[in-house]
Amino acid sequence: MKVLGIESSCDETAASVVEHGRALSNIVASQHEVHARFGGVVPELASRRHVEVIIPVIEQALAQAKTSWEEIDAIAVTSAPGLLGALLVGISVAKSLALARNLPLIGVNHLEAHLNAPFLEQPDFPHPYVGLVVSGGHTSLYHVKDFGDYHLLGATRDDAAGEAFDKAAILLGLGYPGGPRIDALSKQGNARAFRFTKPKFSDSNFDFSFSGYKTAVRLLYQKAEETGLVDEKFKADLAASFQQALVDFLTERLMSAAQMLGAKGVVLSGGVAANRTLREQVKLEAEKNNFRFVVPAMNLCTDNAAMIAYVGEQYLKRGKRSDFSLGATANQEIGL
């Protein structure tokens, strides 16, 4: 069974062909250069760029997979959550193709796709596991008992972790997107140069909050500016300390949830899971606590269509499909 996946929920236009849970192709056209000068994603510009590139992206995905249209069995597309206009581009194209080729159409939740991305590389990963989806739009922790059986343990109450990375990077004058830039600069800084206060939650609460970290970066930067202390070393130290504080917070929450629920494994996914310090720290802690650990390869952590096609194929196997009334939904949590 070959499923074509299409993703256009934010600022990446992506297409992929997945067969038996394996990606045969993974094409991603990023729009970072379109939005960089605005310091964030401009929804209307995102939609327009999706319209321009989506057909070539799909053609490339088929070519890379050495697959003809006749071999495609279904079309999976991200239908929620995301930017409405951006989602609608992918959905409209997916519907048109499904109608023209008489193929089943499957609407996929982007969060469910991030949560299942690790299975593209490790199909035998055990359930139950605790999964952290940590991206530019979400920071959500789930208990996953089986495919499709998700329970939301906690989510961010303000900014998403990736958003905090992006905003801190702007404060430090690093530009957009901030996560990879803070990741790179942190390698030259002292991660213990500045201390951040961790938000307080009760032991049984797995919510997150990041706005305090962002405010702390702003205040530290302003103070240093006033006293003429801003130089390259200061910036690297502040970036490294901020990153370490977020990584400590995320790792601690993920591990304590896994321990409390007696999970077999821990999973990290979403754009921020591309962060090297986070990957290393969670891996180390998982080994210490005897949890199986999986984090997708970098190109499967950030937005991609392989994870969409993967979930689509799973649903198709279970006899689920969408009808042509499929629409875009801006906000849609899973596991509530």
Q: Which residues bind ligand KG4 (CB under 6 A)?
A: 10, 135-137, 162, 165-166, 177-180, 183, 270-272, 274-275, 302-303
CB of 53 to ligand KG4, least distance (A): 16
| Cβ pair 319, 29 in contact under 8 A | no
Residue 31 lies near Zn ion (rule: CB under 5 A)? no
CB of 138 to Zn ion, least distance (A): 7
Q: Which is nearer to ligand KG4, 94 or 272 (CB)?
A: 272
Q: Which is nearer to ligand KG4, 25 or 304 (CB)?
A: 304
Q: Give the span between the Cα atoms of 188 and 238, in whole angstroms.
A: 11
Q: Which is nearer to ligand KG4, 61 or 111 (CB)?
A: 111
Give which of ligand KG4, Zn ion, none residue 153 binds (C-beta under 5 to 8 Å, depending on kind): none
Residue 177 phi/psi, 5-degree rounding, is -75, 145
| Cβ pair 169, 179 in contact under 8 A | yes
Q: Give the span between the Cα atoms of 111 and 178, in whole angstroms.
A: 21
Residue 313: both structure tokens together: 């194929």
Q: Which is nearer to ligand KG4, 72 or 186 (CB)?
A: 186
Q: Give the span between the Cα atoms of 268 and 118, in whole angstroms.
A: 8
Convert 71-89 to b/e letters by CB count within 10 Å (16 or more is b): ebebbbbbbbbbbebbbbb
Residue 135 lies near Zn ion (rule: CB under 5 A)? yes
CB of 274 to ligand KG4, least distance (A): 4
Q: Which is nearer to ligand KG4, 210 or 221 (CB)?
A: 210
How does DSSP assign 223-288, residue by residue? HHHHTT--SHHHHHHHHHHHHHHHHHHHHHHHHHHHHHHT-SEEEEESGGGG-HHHHHHHHHHHHH
> Three-state SS for 49?
helix
> Interface with Zn ion by CB under 5 A: which range of 64-72, 187-195, 279-287, 296-304?
296-304
CB of 135 to ligand KG4, least distance (A): 3
Give which of ligand KG4, Zn ion, none residue 180 binds (C-beta under 5 to 8 Å, depending on kind): ligand KG4
Work out which of 303, 305, 326, 334 binds Zn ion, going by CB under 5 A.
303
How does DSSP assign 158-197, residue by residue? SS-HHHHHHHHHHHTT--SSHHHHHHHHHTTS-TTSS--P
Give which of ligand KG4, Zn ion, none residue 179 binds (C-beta under 5 to 8 Å, depending on kind): ligand KG4
Name the residue type at position 192: R
Whose CA is closest to 3, among 67, 74, 79? 74
Number of chain residues interacting with Zn ion (CB under 5 A)? 2
CB of 235 to Zn ion, least distance (A): 28
Give which of ligand KG4, Zn ion, none residue 107 binds (C-beta under 5 to 8 Å, depending on kind): none
Q: Which is nearer to ligand KG4, 112 or 303 (CB)?
A: 303
CB of 189 to Zn ion, least distance (A): 27
Binding site for Zn ion (CB under 5 A): 135, 303
